[in-house]
Structure 1
Amino acid sequence: MKLRLDRKNTIGLIFFLAFVISMSLIFQFEERFTTENWKSNYTTRYKMVDDLIESQFLIGKPKSEVFEILGQPDSQSNSSKDTFIYNIGDPPSFFSSQKEYLLIIFKNEHVEKVTLAVD
């Protein structure tokens, strides 16, 4: 018995394989956030930053607890004492990409927002 795929099945198979390959690449290059890795792997924080933002792990935490988890910020916003900036390293890229930073925005001494900023 010979297996023959028609055009619709072939296209479906290609999309399925593309999805599987892209998901495996995403999981290969993304890491789960841990305090130990964040503090020790300064240049590869970009691998953990998506997990940190999406989990909303820091939302509502006081500044002192953020310092314990992430360490001291690399800088503060010039316009506000309530915005801390953390370097996340440079992800590998074929093109020159803009530098990204993790921003922690506080309101009333507690984290209100965690986001990425571009230089």
Structure 2
Amino acid sequence: MFRIKKYDKVVLFFFAAIVIGFSLIWLFEERFDRDEWITNPRMRYKMADHIVSSDTLIGKTKEEVIFILGSPDADNLIEVDHVSYDIGKAPSFFKSGERQLIVFFESNLAFEVAVVSSED
């Protein structure tokens, strides 16, 4: 008869907890939706991480990025080919500044997308 040892039960429990945790994170992560991005600018922070992690914009031309994300916001980066979008503030117990999604271009192709915070 096969018996599971106490150590094996603990390992199995933690493995199951990790799998369930990652599944829930994946399930509830907000994915990019163009219509929601354009119509609700203050909630963009929910989609910004997905845009960065999925490389949605990498390799796109500036015109394609502007078509996907809409007209960029004005910002103060100088001598860098980029577009910038305000994404609002995520709810937090701590004071946090406005956040921006910045898409950097080289030879008119997006090569990096980053979320940056500005201090209030």
Question: How high is the TM-score relative to the length of structure 2?
Answer: 0.75
- Matched residue, 2:109: 110
Amino acid at match of 1:62: T
Shift of 1:95: 1.2
Deviation per residue, 1:26-58 (Å, 9 max, x gap) = 457631102111111211111111111111011
- Matched residue, 1:55: 54
Unaligned runs of 5+ in 2: 1-5
Shift of 1:78: 3.3
Task: Decide whether the 8 Å contact of 2:62 with 2:110 is kept in 1.
Answer: yes
- Matched residue, 2:33: 34
Q: Which runs of 4+ in 1 moved over 6 A?
A: 7-14
- Alignment of structure 1 residues 19-98 onto 2, 5 Å: 19=18, 23=22, 26-27=25-26, 30-98=29-97
Residue 103 of structure 2 aligns to a residue whose secondary structure is strand
Task: Decide whether the 8 Å contact of 1:77 with 1:85 is kept in 2.
Answer: no
CA distance in 1, matches of 2:43, 2:19: 25
Task: Decide whether the 8 Å contact of 1:59 with 1:110 is kept in 2.
Answer: yes
CA distance in 2, matches of 1:91, 1:27: 18
Question: How high is the TM-score relative to the length of structure 1?
Answer: 0.75
CA distance in 1, matches of 2:41, 2:21: 26
Shift of 1:79: 1.1
Aligned length: 116
Unaligned runs of 5+ in 1: 1-6
CA distance in 1, matches of 2:19, 2:72: 37
The 3 A distance-change label for structure 1 pair 107 and 96 is: same
